[in-house]
Structure 1
Amino acid sequence: MLRHAIADPARAIPASIYDEWSYALPGPRSPLVIAEPDAVRAILLDPGATFGRNRPLRTLMRRAWGNGLAAAEGESWAAQRRAAAPAFRPSAIAAAMPVMTAATRHAAERWPCGESVDLQPALGRIVARIVLETLLSDARDWDSDAIAADIPEVMRDVARFGLLEVAPIPAAWLDRLRRTGRSDAEARLRRIARDIAARAPTEPHHLTALLRDVGPLADNLFGFMIAGFETSALGAAWALYLLALHPDWQAAVRAEATDAPDDTTRPVARAVVQEALRLYPPGPLLVRAATRETELLGHRIRRGQTVIIPVFAIHRHRRLWADPDRFDPGRFAPAGHYPRGAYLPFGAGPRLCIAAGFATAEIATIVAGLVRDLHFTPTGAAPVVSLKVSTHSTTGLHVTAQPVA
């Protein structure tokens, strides 16, 4: 069970959780899987600090963020989050839209039509350019395609987990044994983060300026670089692949983008994105550990025991969603309906992803811009879904594209 959980959590979570509200894995202190929405909210909102991060999650955050925002705790986290918040307000997202549109148009004009393309790296290059030119502000001196090529390698290094990660080994020893952070790809990205930090602009609306005096700026820039890439690139790839599988919805997104090119609300495209994030949430699992003994859904939870919130399963739970495995963006249309507390693509509570609104707008802009000019069809083998750290396909998401007549 432990080997399966480390290799890919999808293999350790029982299939029954798609019908049931909880599942206790074998053993008195084994993880407890919780899918009931009210119980999930109690864990994530948790005003009594009964649940915190477990050791593997803290290790993952430390590798990606150092002492930056997503890894910080307590007042350090609160101060960094308050400082960064203006960069993700609706006005800031609106200001970033022209960059998103330009990056998408640039990619559409150079798309290799007629060739089979894996959407995961292809859309990653668009996202890398957007992240550099918006969140990291004055970063046009760097090659966004090269950065997009480096980030997956860094993410694999960050997400390398085994028995060592659950053993009581000091962090410095663990990093030395794993050789964490020693790849050429990570060295290049950290050098870029340090260079941007050294010449951070003073304009108050830039993320780099907002975070200059709170927390380690280079750590934060590195964290936003890889986290902003991973979430949006995968979300956009899944959304576009689903449109390739469903030409009727692809035509609806194209009509919206063609008939109202200046309407940045994009209700159809956003509904498609939200449904894609339901079926393939960027963070498929949320993990917490009990800080003291408690009880939940009739289960006794001991101090230090891990609680798993299976977001992927909650998004497809048969007691929450009608026909849960079907792609139906109508669930998120203005007149649609989805169950309260059952949609968690960016988490919930105080640790809700600070860039959730930015990412949703970014993915919708990319998908709408590409579909407006290109028609996509699936090709190759069906995706093999993995839930290790992020929801991704181990075999790629392959499509072919042709110009729209």
Structure 2
Amino acid sequence: MTTTGTEIPGPAGVPLLGSMFDLKRDSLGTYLNAQRAYGDVVRITAGPPGLRVELYGVFSAEGAQQVLATDSANFRKDNAFYQEVRESFGNGLLTSQDEDYLRQRRLVQPLFTRRRVDGYAEAITAETATLLSGWADAPDATVDVVGEMTRLTLRAVARILFGTDVEAAVHVVERCFPVIGEYTLRRGYSPANVPRDWPTPGNRRAAAAMQDLYGVCDRIIEERRAEGDAAKGDDLLTLLAQAGSAEDGSLDPAEIRDQVLIFLLAGHETTATSLAFALHLLARHPEAQKRARAEVDRVLAGRTPEAYDLDALPYLTRVLKEAMRLYPAGPVIGRQAVEAAEIGGHTIPAGADVIVAPWVTHRHPRYWEEPERFDPDRFAPEAEKARPRYAWFPFGGGPRACIGQHFSMLESVLALAMILREYELTAVDLDVPVDTGITLRATGPARCVVSSRRAGGTGR
């Protein structure tokens, strides 16, 4: 039997407002509870009459594959949330669609080949070494790995993007990104918004932050384009300015800025989340930490890791993948159905807002035994082969899969290897609360006591 529209099961919530308060208080928990109570296709309503929103949650691996891959043309980034991200951070690879997206992808893809990305290993390890040099002076030998990993990944991606202009870029991003992100998030989830050009305090603060952020990007882009073919840097911005083909032409300054903003957004917040929770989980599980460190010591023998070491660190990679299972940086992915679609015996209506949720699917008991338990060996090769492809999809999937997957994995494994080579970690905070913004974010600290493995050393 096929159910349609309002027949699809889901939580009733409270009279008139549905699940509005549940979603506002704990959206990830609301989705998880809905799957457990009602199954793999769920209808969730929220908001008062006239402003009511209907969400259709698709929580099975097979359903996620249908939305993101096999029927991806029918599920578009046309919802209000993506429109707000587009207006704040530009029409780059994360938000563009149709021919715009295909053209951008063709122009940018050559900059993200494995060989090209591997060339960024030195920048990653240099920034990691700089970060670790400060841990020896940490008060009470305690660091908050959320803040530390955010600082590391921002500096690394800014250095790779901007080269010698890294300091100016980092300063502006640190100041402006939180303002723009909160503004975008608030508008993306609001049932009604005033126009952006109205002179409200929130609009003015966001506009000033965007002006500063756009300004530093535009200045550096103008300098790179003025250098033309004479530019000798191998930073990503120089390569973007030089990218082009007979079929697709080249990126104009506004298009380059859009790509830069999306790379800054996706390239530091998501990887920071993965790294921070990998460290926190290792700090809470001493045996796994000991096993990962033994692998690092055996492979590196005290030297700085390089890109080719990635394949020689399989257990550390499993640790990272398990952290990304439990704490996916993109915990919810939204789409809008163009036409009605049948998924898992239910017909989702045309025009519906649809979500797939790594946060939920990564905890689905059909694919994961004791899903809340930390167990890196879930990602041993034989175990991975036994699961459906979309039981684990922290990078999305299908034609819109994240172009920076290899960069994120490389940065994370190299940084983890250097940290474990130098320090032992013990968790201070056993539970770290999270919430979903544009990406998953910790709403409390993840403090760890760090003990140098070099007697009397600085950790460098």
State TM-score, norm by structure 2.
0.79
- The letter of the residue matching 1:109 is S
For 2:73 and 2:200, how far apart are their aligned partners in 1? 32
For 2:349 and 2:270, how far apart are their aligned partners in 1? 33
Judging changes above 3 Å, is the alpha-carbon distance between structure 1 residues 61 and 184 closer, same or farther for their aligned structure 2 residues?
closer
For 1:24 and 1:392, how far apart are their aligned partners in 2? 25
1:71 paired to 2:95: yes
1:84-112 superposed Cα distances (whole Å, 9 cap, x missing partner): 11222111121111111111112112114
- Paired position in structure 2 for 1:105: 129
- Paired position in structure 2 for 1:123: 149
Judging changes above 3 Å, is the alpha-carbon distance between structure 1 residues 214 and 170 closer, same or farther for their aligned structure 2 residues?
farther
- Paired position in structure 2 for 1:346: 395
Deviation, 1:9, is 2.2
- Paired position in structure 2 for 1:246: 285
Judging changes above 3 Å, is the alpha-carbon distance between structure 1 residues 29 and 166 closer, same or farther for their aligned structure 2 residues?
closer
Judge which range, 258-267 or 81-90, deviates more.
258-267
For 2:401 and 2:122, how far apart are their aligned partners in 1? 26
RMSD, matched Cα: 2.8
Kindly indicate whether the alpha-carbon contact (under 8 Å) linking 1:293 and 1:301 is maintained by their aligned counterparts in 2: yes
Structure 1: gaps (5+ residues): none
Judge which range, 62-71 or 286-295, deviates more.
62-71
- Paired position in structure 1 for 2:61: 37
- The letter of the residue matching 2:364 is H
- Paired position in structure 2 for 1:306: 353
- The letter of the residue matching 1:240 is L
For 2:223 and 2:284, how far apart are their aligned partners in 1? 45
1:211 paired to 2:260: no
1:352-393 superposed Cα distances (whole Å, 9 cap, x missing partner): 111111111111111111111011111146211223332222
Which SS does the other structure have where 2:42 is aligned?
strand
1:291 paired to 2:330: no
Which SS does the other structure have where 1:117 is aligned?
strand
- Paired position in structure 1 for 2:5: none
- The letter of the residue matching 1:235 is S
Structure 2: gaps (5+ residues): 1-18, 47-51, 242-249, 455-460
1:1-400 counterparts in 2 under 5 A?
1-6=19-24, 8-18=26-36, 20-26=39-45, 30-47=54-71, 49-111=73-135, 112-113=137-138, 114-142=140-168, 144=170, 147-148=173-174, 150-161=176-187, 165-167=190-192, 172=196, 178-179=202-203, 182=206, 185-200=209-224, 202=231, 206-212=235-241, 213-214=250-251, 216-261=255-300, 262=305, 263-265=309-311, 266-337=313-384, 339-340=387-388, 341-380=390-429, 382-400=431-449
- The letter of the residue matching 1:156 is E
Kindly indicate whether the alpha-carbon contact (under 8 Å) linking 1:120 and 1:237 is maintained by their aligned counterparts in 2: yes
Deviation, 1:274, is 0.7
Judging changes above 3 Å, is the alpha-carbon distance between structure 1 residues 48 and 129 closer, same or farther for their aligned structure 2 residues?
closer
Q: Which has the higher helix share?
A: 2
- The letter of the residue matching 2:405 is A
Kindly indicate whether the alpha-carbon contact (under 8 Å) linking 1:84 and 1:207 is maintained by their aligned counterparts in 2: no
**Displacement over 6 Å in runs of 4+:** 174-177
For 2:201 and 2:173, how far apart are their aligned partners in 1? 26
Kindly indicate whether the alpha-carbon contact (under 8 Å) linking 2:159 and 2:235 is maintained by their aligned counterparts in 1: no
Judging changes above 3 Å, is the alpha-carbon distance between structure 1 residues 297 and 47 closer, same or farther for their aligned structure 2 residues?
closer
Judging changes above 3 Å, is the alpha-carbon distance between structure 1 residues 233 and 187 closer, same or farther for their aligned structure 2 residues?
farther
Kindly indicate whether the alpha-carbon contact (under 8 Å) linking 1:87 and 1:206 is maintained by their aligned counterparts in 2: no
Judging changes above 3 Å, is the alpha-carbon distance between structure 1 residues 30 and 75 closer, same or farther for their aligned structure 2 residues?
same
- Paired position in structure 2 for 1:403: 452
Deviation, 1:8, is 4.5
Judging changes above 3 Å, is the alpha-carbon distance between structure 1 residues 331 and 64 closer, same or farther for their aligned structure 2 residues?
farther
Deviation, 1:394, is 0.9
Query: What is the number of equivalent residue pairs in this alignment?
Result: 403
- The letter of the residue matching 1:10 is L
- The letter of the residue matching 1:282 is A
Kindly indicate whether the alpha-carbon contact (under 8 Å) linking 1:181 and 1:187 is maintained by their aligned counterparts in 2: no
For 2:101 and 2:164, how far apart are their aligned partners in 1? 25
Judging changes above 3 Å, is the alpha-carbon distance between structure 1 residues 348 and 306 closer, same or farther for their aligned structure 2 residues?
same
Judging changes above 3 Å, is the alpha-carbon distance between structure 1 residues 127 and 67 closer, same or farther for their aligned structure 2 residues?
same
1:111-135 superposed Cα distances (whole Å, 9 cap, x missing partner): 1443332211111111112112223
Judging changes above 3 Å, is the alpha-carbon distance between structure 1 residues 376 and 180 closer, same or farther for their aligned structure 2 residues?
farther
